[in-house]
A and B are shown apart, each in its own frame.
Chain A
Amino acid sequence: DAGITQSPRHKVTETGTPVTLRCHQTENHRYMYWYRQDPGHGLRLIHYSYGVKDTDKGEVSDGYSVSRSKTEDFLLTLESATSSQTSVYFCAISESRTANTEAFFGQGTRLTVV
């Protein structure tokens, strides 16, 4: 398995509180991604990063922000958590921009907003 660690693995938080999820990789891959997984929707891209301090929005970025101060760490922040953000969050990494590069996924973080 690729060296991807997500923390925490499970979290319950209250509506309106900020939450930060961490993705740590040991593969030195340039690209990192945050997806959310919801029944019937598959995985949807929230934000991605193509280098240190270089990030961009994905399909469902509203209510989320990201930061990447080091190659190995990609943080996802829910600025003010809402119940609609209850989901399983997956981090992924890939080596390059080219289309024939495989993406590797972390174990996921199950977030419940009550």
Chain B
Amino acid sequence: AQSVSQHNHHVILSEAASLELGCNYSYGGTVNLFWYVQYPGQHLQLLLKYFSGDPLVKGIKGFEAEFIKSKFSFNLRKPSVQWSDTAEYFCAVHRDNAGNMLTFGGGTRLMVKP
């Protein structure tokens, strides 16, 4: 079983709809959490990250994510999606005892219809 789970594999939304993509991880201890985005034909780019402090993290392009430690979750949200948000989104976890390596979820492919 994957240690980082993204339960939604494919999501289709209309423009202006709200978005929430789930991410759960199964590690105990200290973790650092990331969301990456991959636009069609491009490489992965960092959307946002959580290391410590305020569990509500704001990233680029209006995205935010909330770290809920008790639920081992780091869900990604955006109040109003745009067609240009069509992409694949990856949650990733860095564990404090795993060197500098990231473990990725399986990805969620988002399609936004104009």
Q: Which residues of A contact B (CB under 8 A)?
A: 31, 33, 35, 39-45, 48, 50, 58-59, 90, 94, 96-103, 105-108
12 contacts between A and B (CB under 8 A): A40-B106, A40-B107, A42-B2, A42-B106, A43-B44, A45-B101, A48-B99, A90-B44, A99-B30, A100-B49, A103-B46, A107-B43
A42 & B43 in contact (Cβ 8 Å cutoff): no
A99 & B101 in contact (Cβ 8 Å cutoff): no
B43 & A108 in contact (Cβ 8 Å cutoff): yes
- How far, in whole Å, are A106 and B43 apart by their CA atoms in the complex? 6
B90: Cβ under 8 A from any A Cβ: yes
Knowing A42-B90, A105-B44, A108-B43, the reply to whether A97 touches B100 (Cβ < 8 A) is: yes
Give residues of chain B (25-64) contacting chain A, Cβ–Cβ below 8 Å: 30, 32, 36, 42-46, 49, 51
- How far, in whole Å, are A107 and B100 apart by their CA atoms in the complex? 21
Chain B contributes a number of interface residues (CB within 8 A of A) equal to 27
Residue numbers in A under 8 Å from B49 (CB-CB):
100, 102
Closest residue of chain A to B97 (Cβ to Cβ) is: A99
B74: Cβ under 8 A from any A Cβ: no
Residue numbers in A under 8 Å from B76 (CB-CB):
none
Knowing A40-B9, A42-B106, the reply to whether A98 touches B42 (Cβ < 8 A) is: no
Q: A39-B107, A45-B103 are in contact. List 16 more A-B contacts (CB 8 A).
A: A31-B100, A33-B101, A35-B104, A40-B106, A41-B106, A42-B4, A43-B90, A43-B92, A48-B99, A48-B101, A97-B99, A99-B30, A99-B32, A105-B36, A107-B42, A108-B43
Closest residue of chain A to B30 (Cβ to Cβ) is: A99
B105 & A42 in contact (Cβ 8 Å cutoff): yes
- How far, in whole Å, are A44 and B95 apart by their CA atoms in the complex? 15
B96: Cβ under 8 A from any A Cβ: yes
